[in-house]
Structure 1
Amino acid sequence: MRNGVKRRLRDGETIIAAWLETGSPEVAEILVRTGWSVLVIDCEHGAAGLEEGLGLIRAVEASGGDAMVRVPDPSEATLKRALDRGARSLIVPMVNSVAQARDIASFVRYPPMGRRGYAASIVRASGYGAWPLYGAEANEEVFLAVQIEHRDAVEAAEEIMAVEGIDMVFIGPNDLAGSMGHFEQLDAPDVVAAMSRVEEAASQADMLVGGIEGARDCGALGRDGYRLIVCSNDVSLLAAASRDAVARCKAALDREKAAS
């Protein structure tokens, strides 16, 4: 019930992860059992809504993995519900101002650090009361990553990183590029410069950085200091394997026809 992701990052590890987009518990199990030790359950763009997505935590953990949850919105009710249902590592999208960052940080931790609503003894997060010290220890177990994915967030990045309770900034290059007038142009010079500005600010602030493969692959991101790298997703993995299988079967048939 402890936060394995947070501990691995504190130990200096660079974590690779995969998005879970289909909302399938079977796919979650397959991904973990084939080597993806961390899955990010995507309740923003994925097929699973919040409640269904939170249910997928069970499949990930039962297979031996660690689950992160990207929530669909930064509302107090959403974040409270996610934590109560057992999410320990959260990614919050589109955090564009220091005021928004402060609110989010306060929503996910109990007083005196924050204002998270109390139901510790009856929620899944505490094992339905089996973890009697959950209320006292929950603040330490939460891992909060906020997404920097808009030009406004880049301007406020240093202030956002200074907010107590934020553990990581997670750079979203696609939406950032779109907000700067360079939709799907991740290598546009000013987009690259904006990401570099956030990366440098994070280095100066000793703040963890996460992100996704895009213009840079996993190796390059690791070289540039990223500590959580979401490298793939279940939809793309299935689509690529499907294309390869179709091509292999057609090629085998063509060889037989040519030989006959």
Structure 2
Amino acid sequence: MRNGLKARLAEGGMIAAAWAELGNPDVAEILVRHGWRTIVIDGEHGRGELEDWVAVARAIEAAGGEVILRLPDGSDTMIKRALDRGFRSFIVPMVNTRAQAEAVVSSFRYPKRGRRGYAAPIVRGSDWGTRPDYAREEAHDELVLMLQCEHVDAVENLDEIASVPGIDLIFIGPNDLAASAGHLERMEHPEVQALLKRVEDTAARHGIGLATVRGGGRDWADLARLGYRLVAGVNDISMLIESARRSLAELEGSATGAAPEGY
């Protein structure tokens, strides 16, 4: 199997991932080289467009990492272009109804399984036509598809959404979910925690895996214990901010008691 992420998901356990927000191949490669094997390229809130993300993906894969692309939306055109450019693992944001879920799943698959437009012999996804079984089998077999549950409407409709064939994981967006319930930046509010529990219980009933971001009073160990299959817990911007602040604090608290003039 060419999709190492799908193979790892089949093995069980929790996969820890880092977000690539800056759209920079070197930054993403550094993350992989220093142990973050799975990188989520954030096409929804991060920097860049499709060709920037392809460049980042090439750097990740060359360093031995695995790539997930969070799309900016679930439009048919966006999905088709990302597939043609070689992405295999996806997060699709803001899917709130069964009809939306069905439309998204269909966009990822060639007929008769779906409605993906055909250009298999000339796209990067098929290694430029060198994989003769790409359109018939491999494109479907290698796909990892996560639909994002990040609104109270999605929670209400999750039984129907989770019953759509072809979804690998439900990805909970806890910040947006909290905001949709009137609790922006208060993920630990009891109402938000109750919504998270409802999502977890519904996914368990349907036998579908869960993914999320770290936060809301839940750390790596908590999410692993709850059975989450993928957790995106850190991002390049926050790492840079944290390091800059820590280094400045070390400078200001150095033994001399004063930072050099002009720092």
Whichever residue aligns with residue 140 of structure 1, its letter is D
Unaligned runs of 5+ in 2: none
| Superimposed CA distance per residue, residues 91-122 of structure 1 (whole angstroms, 9 cap, x where no aligned partner) | 00000110000000000011221111111111
Which residue of 1 is the match for residue 22 of structure 2? 22
Which residue of 2 is the match for residue 245 of structure 1? 247
Tell me the distance in 2 between the aligned counterparts of 1:236 and 1:249.
20
Displacement after TM superposition at 1:55 (Å): 2.6
Contact in 2 for aligned 1:145/1:168 (Cα 8 Å): yes
Contact in 2 for aligned 1:42/1:48 (Cα 8 Å): no
Which residue of 1 is the match for residue 200 of structure 2? 199
Tell me the distance in 1 between the aligned counterparts of 2:212 and 2:256.
42
How many residue pairs get aligned? The number is 257
Tell me the distance in 2 between the aligned counterparts of 1:68 and 1:256.
45
Residue 189, structure 1, aligned to residue 200, structure 2:
no
Which residue of 1 is the match for residue 65 of structure 2? 65
Whichever residue aligns with residue 112 of structure 1, its letter is K
The secondary structure found in structure 1 opposite 2:256 is helix
Whichever residue aligns with residue 172 of structure 1, its letter is G
Tell me the distance in 2 between the aligned counterparts of 1:114 and 1:56.
28
Displacement after TM superposition at 1:253 (Å): 5.0
Tell me the distance in 2 between the aligned counterparts of 1:3 and 1:169.
19
Contact in 2 for aligned 1:57/1:86 (Cα 8 Å): no
Whichever residue aligns with residue 120 of structure 1, its letter is A
Contact in 1 for aligned 2:73/2:92 (Cα 8 Å): yes
* Matched ranges for 1:36-115 at <5 A: 36-115=36-115
Which residue of 1 is the match for residue 219 of structure 2? 217
Q: Please tell me the root mean square deviation across aligned C-alpha atoms, in Å.
A: 1.3
Contact in 2 for aligned 1:17/1:229 (Cα 8 Å): yes
Q: Share of identical aligned residues, percent?
A: 50
Whichever residue aligns with residue 177 of structure 2, its letter is L
Tell me the distance in 2 between the aligned counterparts of 1:187 and 1:252.
37
Contact in 1 for aligned 2:13/2:224 (Cα 8 Å): no
Displacement after TM superposition at 1:252 (Å): 2.2
Displacement after TM superposition at 1:247 (Å): 1.6
Displacement after TM superposition at 1:255 (Å): 4.8
Unaligned runs of 5+ in 1: none
Alignment TM-score, normalising by the size of structure 2: 0.95
Alignment TM-score, normalising by the size of structure 1: 0.96
Tell me the distance in 1 between the aligned counterparts of 2:173 and 2:76.
22
Which residue of 1 is the match for residue 140 of structure 2? 139
Stretches (4+) displaced over 4 A: none
